[in-house]
Structure 1
Amino acid sequence: MKARAFSYFRAGTIEEALDTHARAGDDARFIAGGQSLVPALALRLQAPRLLIDINHIDDLRGVRCEGEWLRIGALTRHCEMLTEPLITEFAPLLRAAAPFVAHPAIRNRGTLGGSVALADPASEFPAMMLALDAEIEIAGASGRRRVRADDFFVDLFETAVGPGELVTAIFVPLFRSNQRVCFDELARRRGDYALVGCGMLATCKDGVIEAIRMAFFSVGNVPTRARTAEAVLSGVRIDAERIATAQAALDGDLAPPESDEVPPAMRLHLARVLLGRMLGRLGEAA
């Protein structure tokens, strides 16, 4: 199939993009990397009359420290997660997740803002927003606001971004010397959507996990915090018994949906296996 005919507008500023979208209404879509939107257009799953290109908006670019936060512009490409020194230093969990995102051709075009805004439950970066306790900056007609990742993901492909609004940046708390990160996923082939994946950020002192955030993906309609397992691990040293308790706690944290590809019980089993491997590595690092 081919996309329906549409008009094209290249925005130079955020305000110009928002104003153009407001005039077009529901018949407009923003486009940046296009790694999700273009296939949807080709299959006519979406058929807007206007595409608003935001690739040339300077305010959506760049990575910089702002106080206790690392600000990552929405147009930051996936491949930049692998090469940007500030991300390696202050957001190493994003650096750890980046090689698992699709394939090099997609990483060269896909953007962080686009991935977070789409909120594909099988994607790596939306879940990492939860693990990092990130905040997502959204621009709209009434100005800009920041939404915590815990409140951002609402339902399947549904987020706190309202009609005509635009994700402009991601704010991540700066990584500290007493913190450790771990990322892994299980997939049939490298680059395929994960059967299950997880990222975690732990604050440690003298080998004890003072606090930990764990976010799973490919286990439901949205990326999911494993809050019960987090509680089991907080304030203790990681050992075999504690790992087994955390694995059992996933029964209350994760509820994988029915799927023709992988039964829920199998996906939950894989999540336990993955958690065990990751906690073993995290315990050594702590």
Structure 2
Amino acid sequence: MDARGGFVAVRDPRGKNYEALVALLRECRVLSDGRRIHAKIRDHGLDRDVFLGNLLIQMYGKCGSAEEASRVFQEMARKNDFSWTLMIGAYTRNDRHGDAVDFFFRAMAGERVEPDAFAYSAVLGACAKMGALDRGKEIHARIIACGADTDLVVQNALVSMYAKCRSLDDAWGVFQKIRIKDVVSWNAIISGYVFHGHAREALGVYHRMLLEGSEPDAITFSTVLSACSSMGLLSQEFSREHVWQVQGSGECEEIFRRDDAERFQLLERALGSVHATGSWKASAHALSADGLGRAGVFTSGF
């Protein structure tokens, strides 16, 4: 539904037409349309409505105006915990990571706010973007104090933050404490090792991932291929393991008895099932970036 066209229906903001305002805000992706919706909310005297206020913060964040999101937040007569979470998200979405972190600590210092997992995840992501390890550790201490350190979303964000801040021992420590890891958990630690040049450790974690029965996704596939290529182990490590999974041990051994040129051609066919999932393009991109697609084998099918 077009945001401008929807204004015709907004007369009585209660009931169905109140729902129309909500729908318009949720669907809005254009800043000028969002401002028009905001004006209608003011016209109907609904600018004190907490739910609509939260949607306005979210809308302005999505439309690229953290300033206007902040203005809405400041003008809200009443706020709930979700208001703070959305404001942190508006800052991080618009690459204002320092503002997101400062806002979080201001909330903790002066307000009785209980951040949820998404607030912690967003502010830890901001710390990661800035490489603000000390701030990240402060947030981690708060997470432990409030008992949120068992939440998987928070744990994954901590692993990612520590890894991106070059504190791989801390990242590994948090990772080991995750009882039930999902693919995001594995990707966070694997990519951390790869990003900081620890390709062998990344491959070790990848093999452990497979042994524990977790299913890799496109991100895993691309990251591990980068690790293999950086070590010159594409044919020895990841490819052998993955082809064995896809094709079975007999055909895998046949592939690896061939020379490099034939092996690449056979790998393309053996990994064909990955192409349909979208993983193939991600993997080919990683290979091309490292100069390993020079034969054109890994770029066919684009």
Structure-2-length-normalised TM-score? 0.27
TM-score (norm 1): 0.28
Higher RCO (C-alpha under 8 Å, 6+ residues apart): 1
Q: Which is strand-richer, 1 or 2?
A: 1
Larger radius of gyration: 2
- Which has more helix, going by share of residues? 2
